[in-house]
Amino acid sequence: MASYRFILRFAGAFCAGVFSLGLVTSAQAALVSRLGGQAVYDTDFNITWLANANLAASNTFGVSGIASNGIMSWDTAQSWIGAMNNNAYLGYSDWRLPTTLQPDPTCDSQSGSTSYGLNCSGSEMGHLFYTELGGVAGNSILNTHNSFFDLFSNLQADPYWSGEYQVDPTSRAWIFGFLYGGQDAYYKTDSWYTLAVRSGDVAVVPVPAAAWLFGSGLIGLFGFARRRRTG
């Protein structure tokens, strides 16, 4: 009976430790690699970025109007995202362009009611640049970044399209520039880069294999203890 109670106490402590380890890991890691390195999950915003930050240069999904270096107009970017979803890229059909917070009070602009300027960390791309990748206003992300930068490939030090346009005038759509960390609105007919994102995570973080193996051993111990009690 004493050995059975010991196993129960030990198992409870072990499970609590594994659970706590999972919480600590999730809390400390703001960006987590997903789908074998093809996606990056942002635990802060609960969104998943496509790791290839210039996929359009190598895969147009049959959409015309995309330059060989991957740049395209805002309307073409919308079509490219649509074609990407029609092909259920990486198994998902809800990819989209990043959102821009309007207004964004974090921006360094003359009026706090706008979404223009530097240090705009409220929007998805601004949060990625400043908070997750360690970018600094006035510096290229290629030169100033942290280790999370390596989770992405082909990230360009140029503007990327947001999925949202200005209400007035509607001829302009929001962009975020990874060259200086600035947020602005450009004409939709301009050509810039496109980075896909989707809401939510793409996978449940598994318990480490060692923990599963140890857990299996505990199940065996439970069975042995029960047999001793009933034998």
Mind listing the pLDDT tens digit of every residue in the chain (231 residues)?
555 454 445 445 444 444 444 433 344 569 999 999 999 999 999 999 999 999 999 999 999 999 999 999 999 999 999 999 999 999 999 999 999 999 999 999 755 568 999 999 999 999 999 999 999 999 999 999 999 999 999 999 999 999 999 877 889 999 999 999 999 999 999 999 999 999 999 975 544 444 444 454 544 544 544 555 555
For residue 41, is it within any domain?
no
Q: What is the pLDDT of residue 19?
A: 40
Task: Say whether both 177 and 221 belong to one domain.
Answer: no
Q: Check whether residue 69 and residue 141 sit in a common domain.
A: yes
What's the structural domain count of the chain?
2
Q: Are residues 66 and 103 in the same domain?
A: yes
Query: Is 9 in the same domain as 117?
Result: no
Contact indicator for 70, 193 with CB cutoff of 8 Å: yes
In a shared domain, residues 76 and 106: yes
The reported pLDDT for the residue numbered 169 is: 82
Q: What's the CA gap between 37 and 45, in Å, rounded?
A: 19
Segments forming the whole domain that contains residue 23: 2-29+205-230
Is residue 168 domain-shared with residue 214, that is, in the same domain? Answer: no
Asked whether residue 193 falls in the same domain as residue 212, the answer is no
Q: Structure pTM?
A: 0.78
Q: E strands, the chain, where?
A: 31-34, 39-42, 47-50, 117-118, 159-165, 172-177, 182-187, 197-199
Pair (97, 25) in one structural domain = no
Judgement on whether residues 174 and 223 belong to the same structural domain of the protein:
no
